[in-house]
Amino acid sequence: MVCAGHFVSHFLTLTLPPLFPFLGEDFGLGFTELGLIMTLYAAATGITQIPMGFLVDRVGAFPVMLTGLAVLCLSIGGIGLTTSPLALGGLAVLAGVANSVFHPANYSILAAAMNSARMGRAFGLHTFAGHFGNALAPVVIVALAVTWGWRAAVVAAGTMGLAVVAALLLAGPSEAGDAASDLPAAGGAEPDGGGEDRDESGPLALFLSPPVMKLFLFFVLTAATSSGMQTFSVTALVMLFDTPLVAASAALTAFLFAMSMGILAGGVLADRTRRHDLMAALAFAATAAIIAFVGTVSLPAVALILLFTIAGLLQGIIRPARDMLVHAASPEGATGRVFGFVTTGINVGGALTPLLLGWLVDQGAVRWVFWFIALAMVLALATVMSAGRSTPQAAEGA
């Protein structure tokens, strides 16, 4: 149920960008205004994600997730029925607020409903479902738009999401899912001397505690590496080495596809080790070396695609281990708010990195696109090792 909701949220998030030419013509907007629409969506998600985490911990994860999914579907579907640019912006903001529920709610449900021996695979499947939604959305929505028109395509996407809402409503919450925020971390562990002690000093103290802050920075850095690869790796390869555009694009596609497969493999590995910090650090170290090498040496297309595939697999392996570290650092009754806080780092890293890398390219420092990504990976390595030593899992494996 959680993966179905996560798939729909990612699918609907990438519904509008492929339709920008249609939206621009119908609403009389330029690409700057259309980009602002997506900025509003992302900002609304980032700003409200932490409050949604508190709401999850207070009223339960399942009703928050189900309500958010329904509002997201209605908002995106409503865009296909409006003719006002102002309404378009308002619906984008509403959709962004609704989208903010999924990380805190979904992780809370999984943390409570899954056996600890399968937690890594559960987190891996959850992340994979989101990536799968990202991959399918552009192809499906463009095909629907070409066949039926963009408005019918958007309404159809929202209706598809509402069908999932209906299925989840009929299935109902499991006892564990509905009471997710009331249960301790997997295995009954109380991180850092007991969740209740840590949480009594209030949410600000929890967020500013060293383990949680380190994990927030870790999410910022992992988002920076992914965003950098997706936005500027192709441009940098073409400008640096005259790599054919087709070869550079194929390398990025291989990276993204391999990342999805790596997420599934990482879920299995995460269930077979307690040293999730070491697992993530080794993957980051190897990926940093690969990316730095790619930015330094001109490579034939086959070698480039092979290295990007290996890098994607390693980056995918990191994701379930990352989620397991956050799960271990969440005190009893605070899973929603901790995941809501640390996953806000995804919005921060994803928003800042394209601006920085675009500036570097404009300054002629194109090689620094890859060096920056490699540096972010090294910093993430240091952060995750430090954060991992603060969790019970790292202590048990030491």
Q: Is residue 50 part of a domain?
A: yes
pLDDT of residue 392: 44
d(CA 47, CA 65): 17
Same domain assignment for residues 217 and 340: yes
Look at the chain and report how many structural domains it folds into: 2
Q: Is residue 398 part of a domain?
A: no
Q: Is residue 191 part of a domain?
A: no
pLDDT of residue 174: 55
Would you give the distance in Å from CA 267 to the centre of its chain?
Answer: 16
Same domain assignment for residues 207 and 298: yes
Q: Of 9-13, 54-58, 270-274, give the lowest mean pLDDT range.
A: 270-274
Please, are residues 136 and 11 in contact by the beta-carbon 8 Å criterion?
yes
- Specify the pTM: 0.71
Neighbours of 316 (CB within 10 A): 27
d(CA 58, CA 246): 50
pLDDT of residue 196: 39
Q: Hey, what are 242's tokens?
A: 């005259």
192: alpha, beta or left? (left if phi > 0; alpha if psi -120 to 50): left
Q: Is residue 85 part of a domain?
A: yes
Instruction: Kindly state the average pLDDT of the residues 89-95.
Output: 94
* CATH number of the structural domain spanning residue 114: 1.20.1250.20
Report the b/e string of 326-362 with b at 16+ CB within 10 A: bbbbbbbbbbbbbbbbbbbbbbbbbbebeebbeebbe
* pLDDT exceeds cutoff 80 at 262: yes
Instruction: Kindly state the average pLDDT of the residues 91-114.
Output: 88
* pLDDT exceeds cutoff 70 at 318: yes
Neighbours of 258 (CB within 10 A): 21
pLDDT of residue 317: 87
3-state secondary structure the chain: CHHHHHHHHHHHHCCCHHHHHHHHHHHCCCHHHHHHHHHHHHHHHHHHHHHHHHHHHHHCHHHHHHHHHHHHHHHHHHHCCCCCHHHHHHHHHHHHHHHCCHHHHHHHHHHHHCCHHHHHHHHHHHHHHHHHHHHHHHHHHHHHHHHHCHHHHHHHHHHHHHHHHHHHHHHCCCHHHHCHHHCCCHHHCCHHHCHHHHHCCCHHHHHHCHHHHHHHHHHHHHHHHHHHHHHHHHHHHHHHHCCCHHHHHHHHHHHHHHHHHHHHHHHHHHCCCCCHHHHHHHHHHHHHHHHHHHCCCCCCHHHHHHHHHHHHHHHHHHHHHHHHHHHHHCCCCCHHHHHHHHCHHHHHHHHHHHHHHHHHHHCCCCCHHHHHHHHHHHHHHHHHHHHHCCCHHHHHHC
pLDDT of residue 183: 41
Instruction: Kindly state the average pLDDT of the residues 250-255.
Output: 86
Structural domain including 275 reads 198-393
Burial of 386 (0-12, 13-18, 19+ CB in 10 A): middle
d(CA 45, CA 350): 12
pLDDT of residue 94: 96
Same domain assignment for residues 364 and 245: yes
Q: Is residue 82 part of a domain?
A: yes
Same domain assignment for residues 153 and 243: no
pLDDT of residue 376: 92
* pLDDT exceeds cutoff 70 at 73: yes
Q: Hey, what are 153's tokens?
A: 């395509």
d(CA 381, CA 374): 11
Same domain assignment for residues 148 and 256: no
Same domain assignment for residues 127 and 29: yes
Choosing from 150, 183, 216, the residue where a domain stops is 183
Q: Is residue 189 part of a domain?
A: no
Q: Is residue 192 part of a domain?
A: no
pLDDT of residue 203: 64
What percent of the chain stands above pLDDT 70? 88
Instruction: Kindly state the average pLDDT of the residues 105-110.
Output: 84
* pLDDT exceeds cutoff 50 at 16: yes
Same domain assignment for residues 89 and 18: yes
Choosing from 142, 160, 183, the residue where a domain stops is 183
Instruction: Kindly state the average pLDDT of the residues 240-269.
Output: 86
pLDDT of residue 173: 64
Please, are residues 162 and 70 in contact by the beta-carbon 8 Å criterion?
yes
Q: Is residue 222 part of a domain?
A: yes
d(CA 200, CA 377): 34
The band of 178, judged by pLDDT with boundaries at 50, 70 and 90, is very low
Q: What is the pLDDT of residues 148-165, one digit of tens each?
A: 999 999 999 999 999 999
Same domain assignment for residues 148 and 205: no
The band of 109, judged by pLDDT with boundaries at 50, 70 and 90, is confident
The band of 104, judged by pLDDT with boundaries at 50, 70 and 90, is confident
The band of 184, judged by pLDDT with boundaries at 50, 70 and 90, is very low
Same domain assignment for residues 355 and 232: yes
Instruction: Kindly state the average pLDDT of the residues 170-195.
Output: 46
Same domain assignment for residues 120 and 219: no
pLDDT of residue 167: 92
pLDDT of residue 209: 81
Same domain assignment for residues 177 and 244: no
pLDDT of residue 353: 83
The band of 346, judged by pLDDT with boundaries at 50, 70 and 90, is confident
The overall average pLDDT reported for the chain is 82
Q: Of 51-65, 199-213, 370-384, give the lowest mean pLDDT range.
A: 199-213
d(CA 101, CA 340): 8
Please, are residues 254 and 308 in contact by the beta-carbon 8 Å criterion?
yes
Instruction: Kindly state the average pLDDT of the residues 203-232.
Output: 83
The band of 368, judged by pLDDT with boundaries at 50, 70 and 90, is very high
Report the Cα–Cα distance between both ends of the chain, in Å, rounded.
Answer: 35
Choosing from 183, 217, 240, the residue where a domain stops is 183
Residue recorded with tokens 């990202």: 134
Same domain assignment for residues 60 and 179: yes
Residues in Cβ contact with 244 at an 8 Å cutoff, skipping those fewer than 6 apart: 238, 301
Instruction: Kindly state the average pLDDT of the residues 352-368.
Output: 86
